[in-house]
Amino acid sequence: MGNIIDGKVISEKIKDQVKKELELLKSKGITPKLVAVSVGENPASIVYMNQQKKNCEKIGINYEILQLPENISEIELCDNIEKLNKNQDVTGIILQLPLPKGIDSRKVQSKIAPEKDVEGVNPSNMGWILYGRAIIGPCTALAVKEIIEYTGVNLYGKEVVMVGHSDIVGKPVALLLVDKFATVSICHIGTFDAGKLEEHVKRAEILIVAVGKANLIPGDWIKEGAIVIDVGINKVGDKIVGDVEFDKAKERASWITPVPGGVGPVTTAILLRNIVVLTKMQKGV
Ligand code: NAP
């Protein structure tokens, strides 16, 4: 049976480092401040923001919500972002998604100043990943990299299969791992529809799945000894499960993340780290 990766352990390690950085900032009279920009009322966003607020305040980061009306125009929303960009007290900005229909979220994200873009979603920060010179990046993608490093595996020449090609998870993960000289295949709906997902997954020495479909990956597809990182979050009845059939997969994997308790807590810690990294950059610390 494989080692089950406890995301909370990795998360605590990251948070310990964040605490040290916050003490350093505090000694210079600096407290990071994150502003979450929320448009309209979205129950999922409210839960998410309450969680962010709790995590930030617990560690010593100021947190504020800028609540904007549902009927705001794209231009007005961008103006609000610009104001936050110029506000010296604000060191981080998060744009809560989804935005109301008719607003181009990518366009609005591109207005967040790269040095305040704590989720790494501005095209500039994404571009630095492409160049192999990431300063920060999307939290979940960095969390996946962090977890893989935690296993101690040498990525050089390893067969990595990334299932899912979203802008914030699949694509940046693939780029981050290619830079470590892994051989990365990216699978998506086209791979699935062509009936080729199984053959790709079966040869993966490191498998990362970020799709959002419960049990998409049957446990018996996992290569013996593979590292399995399950990013997916799915509600099945009253249970939260990942995209991988965990009970069977853990018998074959050398390392595997559970859902919940795997990628999620690490992602949360990376957000805190991104806030501190960018605050330090802005304040020249
Ligand atoms: P997304 O934007 O919906 O992307 C899903 C990806 O899966 C797309 O590339 C999609 O391809 C692909 N796909 C869909 N059906 C497929 C299939 N049958 N076979 C192979 N690929 C398929 O989602 P996301 O934002 O990347 O999130 C993915 C999952 O991770 C969700 O469950 C989300 O809740 C979870 N998540 C967890 C965390 C965390 O911290 N733990 C953070 C972020 C996301 P097409 O676009 O071509 O259809």
User: Is position 54 within any domain?
Assistant: yes
| Successive 10-residue mean pLDDT values, the chain, 285 residues | 94 98 98 98 92 97 98 98 98 97 97 98 97 95 98 98 98 98 98 98 98 98 98 96 98 98 98 98 96
Atom of ligand 1 nearest to the CA of 190: 47
Q: Calculate how far, in angstroms, residue 213's C-alpha sits from the geometric centre of ligand 1.
A: 8
| 161 and 105 assigned to the same domain | no
User: Is position 26 within any domain?
Assistant: no
| 71 and 174 assigned to the same domain | no
Does ligand 1 come within 6 angstroms of the Cβ of 138?
A: no
User: Is position 41 within any domain?
Assistant: yes
Q: What is the number of domains present in the chain?
A: 2
| 100 and 186 assigned to the same domain | no
Ligand 1: residue whose CA is nearest its atom 20: 188
Domain containing 221: what range? 139-263
Does ligand 1 come within 6 angstroms of the Cβ of 264?
A: yes
| 157 and 245 assigned to the same domain | yes
| 253 and 212 assigned to the same domain | yes
The pLDDT value recorded for residue 1 is 78
User: Is position 19 within any domain?
Assistant: no
Ligand 1: residue whose CA is nearest its atom 26: 166
User: Is position 83 within any domain?
Assistant: yes
CATH of residue 205's domain is 3.40.50.720
Ligand 1: residue whose CA is nearest its atom 34: 233
| 170 and 100 assigned to the same domain | no
| 158 and 190 assigned to the same domain | yes
Does ligand 1 come within 6 angstroms of the Cβ of 187?
A: yes
The pLDDT value recorded for residue 9 is 98
Q: pTM for the complete prediction?
A: 0.97
| 145 and 258 assigned to the same domain | yes
Is 75 exposed, middle or buried (CB count within 10 Å of its CB: 0-12, 13-18, 19+)?
Answer: exposed
The pLDDT value recorded for residue 2 is 83
| 99 and 144 assigned to the same domain | no
User: Is position 219 within any domain?
Assistant: yes
User: Is position 234 within any domain?
Assistant: yes
User: Is position 21 within any domain?
Assistant: no
CATH of residue 96's domain is 3.40.50.10860
| 71 and 151 assigned to the same domain | no
| 251 and 168 assigned to the same domain | yes
Ligand 1: residue whose CA is nearest its atom 16: 189
| 97 and 38 assigned to the same domain | yes
The pLDDT value recorded for residue 211 is 98
